Each structure stands twice: as structure tokens, then as C-alpha cells.
Amino acid sequence: AQKITQTQPGMFVQEKEAVTLDCTYDTSDQSYGLFWYKQPSSGEMIFLIYQGSYDEQNATEGRYSLNFQKARKSANLVISASQLGDSAMYFCAMREGTGGFKTIFGAGTRLFVKA
């Protein structure tokens, strides 16, 4: 079974608008971490934001926020005020407390920001 599911292969958003990228996860661990990475066409994976399973507050980093709904096992990324430079592939990822050092990645969502 998929442990990380990103159901949106591609998304379009108008510049300056907000966009939500969906991510659901599946784990039986009580302790886990959720990550979002951005990958522009150049190829480099850029860390955006982290949410721990025990964190009660949703994580925020500048224009990025993580809408963490633990009971629903979802960790959606919200990008506010989209910019043309936000056009990229976005990966949701998870580390399980019992999973060692293996990061589980979703299939990714390609975001296109329109001028």
C-alpha cells in the first residue's frame, strides 16, 4: 500500500493566488515526521517545511504552511501569494520513527504558476 499519496499529478495556479497541494500518509508509528520538498527543473531538491507528529501547531515557513490534520492523516502544503518561481515539482515525504533512515516520498505534484 502507498504510504504517501499525492493525488494531484499537476496543478495550475494564477500568480499571487494561494494554492494547496494535497498529501495523505499512512503509518502505524506514533512518532513520524512529514516533509515537503520543492524540485525545480534544475533538479535540486529544496527542503521547504517540516511537521512532527507530536507538533500541535501547524508548521509555517514564510509563504509555506503545512495544514496538518493528524486524525485524517493529511499534511497538505499551502503556498500563499504564488510566484512564477514557485513552478516546480513538489514532493511530500515521511520519516517513520521505526523506519530507520529511509525517507518515503510521494509521487509528486507538478505546480504551474500562470502570469
Partner 1 sequence: DAMVIQNPRYQVTQFGKPVTLSCSQTLNHNVMYWYQQKSSQAPKLLFHYYDKDFNNEADTPDNFQSRRPNTSFCFLDIRSPGLGDAAMYLCATSRPETAETDTQYFGPGTRLTVL
| Cα angle for residues 45, 56, 59 (degrees, 5° grid) | 30
109 lines the binding site for partner 1 (CB under 8 A): no
Q: Does residue 45 bind partner 1 (CB under 8 A)? A: yes
Q: Looking at beta carbons only, is 79 or 94 nearer to partner 1?
A: 94
Q: Which stretch binds partner 1 (CB under 8 A): 17-25, 56-64, 68-76, 91-99?
A: 91-99
| Cell numbers describing residue 12 | 495550475
Taking CB under 8 A as the binding criterion, the range among 18-26, 67-75, 77-85, 98-106 that sits at the site for partner 1 is 98-106
* Shortest Å, Cβ 83 to partner 1: 21
Of the candidate residues 19, 24, 32, 79, the single one contacting partner 1 (CB under 8 A): 32
How many of the chain's residues bind partner 1 (CB under 8 A)?
Answer: 28
